[in-house]
Amino acid sequence: MKTFKNLLIAITVISIFSCSSDDDNRTIDPGNGGDNPITGNELKGDLSEDAKLLASVEYTLTGSFTVKSGATLTIEPGTVIKAKSGRTDIFLAVERGAKIIAKGTAANPIKFTSDASSPKAGDWGGIVIAGKAKSNKGTDVQSEVAGLLYGGSDDADNSGELSYIIAEYTGAKINGEQEFNGISFFGVGNGTVVNNIVVSNGNDDGIEFFGGSVNVTNVYCANIADDMFDWTGGYTGTITNAFGVRNDGFDAATDDPRGIEGDSNSSDANAAPISTPTLKNVTILNLNPDVALKAGAEIRRGTQAIISNILFAAYGNASFGNRIDTKDDKGNGTLTISNASAQGNVGDDKVGGDITGTVTAITDGISVPSDNTVNTKAGVGADLSAFDWANQSFVVTKLN
């Protein structure tokens, strides 16, 4: 049984990185002359040649920073990038045909955060990656943020690697229809490596897939205003070991926050490729009695999803509106579910499309002993020990 502790609602993440006074003011020149997007510790502009960010420099993202097609951005383990807060044009983007190699380690993760003295959800945009994998929106589609083209026919496309990454205080809102997610994958192929990801305190979705086939292992979304895990546009990848939690006291919320939102195509539910993702070992947990999740999993608009070993849980007075919802006026979804458990007030299923499999009510998936720590039963839902490296933790602050 694994125990996690979070004082109040804060998500505390410790990034350990080395410092060298000799390198503190080092300029990394990617070789594009006077229009250098990496000058000293400032990141802004278009990167057209290969470059590396060093752990010995604390960087500030002061505008849009785009890795152009043909270029590779490498980020050393332990690097910290602080985004200038309060603007909607602060984000890291990787074009179709470009690569990002951000390989942190458990001891030295790579951290993207806000530069605000009192950071909050929505302080900056987020990370946006485009690729050449299939989308049912087309082959040259413009991303809803960052203005990148994505899509193609290469499901094995490789946009690089994201490993041991922390992205926090993301989700800047551009207008009523456009908001950044923590990390957005637009047509990203399964040649891309993505594992050990933490997104926390986001003002829109935690992680979202727009088509593509990229696989993700060990992803933790904590305190997300909208959907923790989201896909649309024909996503066909696999998500393994996913934990989503809304902490007591995190009250930033859209009108319909969910644990999982799965779409295929809102204009044509039969558009190919249909979203057919597979999810394995998932926990959706609500600890906040003041914000109900609209659904634990909303599978709709043509999506055909397979989910195995999932726990839907709400502690104390926290709740879900629906546990599973496959009904939608723009097209129902279908879900095959196995080894599914539910604990607490997680609502009933709203069936439109078929749901194959059953959800079993249990009492021992989540427990709260006298010290207010939250315990999870081994083998039920996500394996939270996979996130020990990030020092993520939480407690319940409003006990019954």
pLDDT of residue 6: 39
pLDDT of residue 31: 37
pLDDT of residue 3: 41
Question: Is 361 within 8 Å of 290 (Cβ atoms)?
Answer: no
Mean pLDDT for the chain overall? 89
pLDDT of residue 179: 85
* Residues with pLDDT less than 70, the chain: 1-35, 175-177, 393-400
Comparing CA positions, the residue from 181, 273, 185, 189 lying closest to residue 228 is 181
Paired sense of beta strands 374-376 and 2-4, if any: antiparallel
Domain positions in the chain are: 2-390
pLDDT of residue 87: 87
pLDDT of residue 174: 79
Distance, in Å, from the CA atom of 299 to the CA atom of 262, rounded to the nearest integer, reads 5
